[in-house]
A = this chain, B = another copy of it.
Amino acid sequence: MKKYSLAIHGGAGTISKAQLTPKKELLYHEALQKALNVGKYFLENGGTALDAVEFSVRCLEDIDLFNAGKGSVFGNDGKHEMEASIMCGSTLNAGAVAGIRNVKNPIQLARMIKKNTDYVYLHGSEAENFAKINHLPFEDDEYFYTKERFEQLQAVKHSDKVILDHTDVDYKFGTVGAVALDQHGNLAAATSTGGLTNKRYGRLGDSSVIGAGTYANNETCAISCTGYGEYFIRTVVAHDVSCLMQYKGLSLQQASEIVIKDKLVKMGGEGGLIGVDAIGNIALVFNTEGMYRGYTSSKNTELTTKIYGD
């Protein structure tokens, strides 16, 4: 068997042991393992990196522990507005969608945009119409309701500085994502999020922005980011890692550390990324206290999942 690699994340932030009960910790590990198993199934059996990242992310979108799909946070208007993107490292084809509501799996819609249209990036109610025409599953508002997220919104709703105010944990940068190298030597990356609690004015983050939150190129790497989206957009994080590899000859790990631990830190941008390169090396780099993350590969087929810093 040729080699494969898979990494996933469920968001980065100020995750401290004091805040997570052992029971909740276990839930997170189980959820990450579940998503890894889904992607691994494709990779082990000669499937594509694109399928692996799409279905790993769909799995994370269906679990309300993460801020994506079902577990998306509430915007200021009490609604859930989501975004997602996916990119193929072999063709550089991409699909992205932003500002959509009630679509069960935004990453599935991003993939469909990539596959079925000449477009890359759709937004809003018209993107939802495209999903309806293509018979993608929708869910009502109730499906996206979680008590914890609702209470987060109530706590900050009338504050102007809401975005960064909530002291609670895993929602802040609770994006999800996956990156993979398949046995055919192709890379792919996928990212999905519910954005920021209490966000206003149709705010978009980096998760739907190709180059910022998601990027894949067989010549270098596949990257999925999670963090304070505005900084990731301004730094064009995912593409910057790729360029540092391609133009300066850095390794995936070196390039990721420069962008996340140096450039972003100097700007004040918190978050992290997961990456896999063309020969299967995996990087999981963050400048926050923790990042929900997991990985597996043909070299070590066990599933490793982690929450806190090493």
Residues of A that sit less than 8 Å from B by CB: 87, 92-94, 96, 98-99, 117-127, 129-130, 163-164, 199-205, 209-212, 215, 229-230, 233-236, 239-240, 243-244, 247-248, 267
Tell me if B247 and A204 are in contact (CB < 8 A).
no
Q: Which of B163, B204, B215 contacts A122 (CB 8 A)?
A: B204
Which B residues touch A163, using CB under 8 A?
118
Contacts A209-B210, A211-B209, A243-B243; A94 near B201 (Cβ below 8 A) = no
Tell me if B124 and A202 are in contact (CB < 8 A).
yes
Tell me if B248 and A233 are in contact (CB < 8 A).
no
Tell me if B122 and A267 are in contact (CB < 8 A).
no
Tell me if B121 and A201 are in contact (CB < 8 A).
no
Since A119-B203, A126-B200, A211-B236 are in contact, a sample of 12 more A-B pairs with Cβ atoms closer than 8 Å, ordered by chain A residue number, is A120-B230, A120-B234, A121-B203, A121-B230, A127-B202, A130-B202, A209-B211, A210-B233, A236-B236, A236-B239, A243-B247, A247-B248
Q: Given the complex of chains A and B, what is the CA–CA distance between A198 and B118 in angstroms?
A: 13
Q: Given the complex of chains A and B, what is the CA–CA distance between A212 and B96 in angstroms?
A: 14
Tell me if A239 and B267 are in contact (CB < 8 A).
no
Tell me if A236 and B210 are in contact (CB < 8 A).
yes
Which B residues touch A201, using CB under 8 A?
117, 119, 122, 126-127, 129-130
Which B residues touch A130, using CB under 8 A?
200-202
**Chain B: CB-nearest residue to A123:** B202
Q: Shortest Cβ distance from A259 into chain B, in angstroms?
A: 12
Which B residues touch A164, using CB under 8 A?
118
Q: Shortest Cβ distance from A142 into chain B, in angstroms?
A: 23
Tell me if A98 and B123 are in contact (CB < 8 A).
yes
User: Interface residues of A: mostly helix, strand, loop or mixed?
Assistant: mixed
Tell me if B234 and A93 are in contact (CB < 8 A).
yes
Q: Shortest Cβ distance from A136 into chain B, in angstroms?
A: 13
Q: Given the complex of chains A and B, what is the CA–CA distance between A244 and B118 in angstroms?
A: 28
Which B residues touch A94, using CB under 8 A?
233-234
Which B residues touch A215, using CB under 8 A?
236
Tell me if B122 and A203 are in contact (CB < 8 A).
yes
Which B residues touch A122, using CB under 8 A?
201-204
Q: Shortest Cβ distance from A308 into chain B, in angstroms?
A: 28
Contacts A98-B123, A211-B212; A118 near B236 (Cβ below 8 A) = no
Tell me if A121 and B239 are in contact (CB < 8 A).
no
Return 12 A-B CB contacts under 8 Å, by A number: A99-B99, A118-B164, A119-B230, A121-B203, A122-B204, A125-B202, A127-B201, A129-B201, A130-B201, A236-B236, A243-B243, A248-B248
Interface centre among A120, A164, A202 (most CB of B within 10 A): A202
Which B residues touch A92, using CB under 8 A?
234-235, 267
Which B residues touch A87, using CB under 8 A?
234
Which B residues touch A239, using CB under 8 A?
211, 236, 239-240, 243
Contacts A121-B233, A210-B233, A212-B210; A126 near B240 (Cβ below 8 A) = no
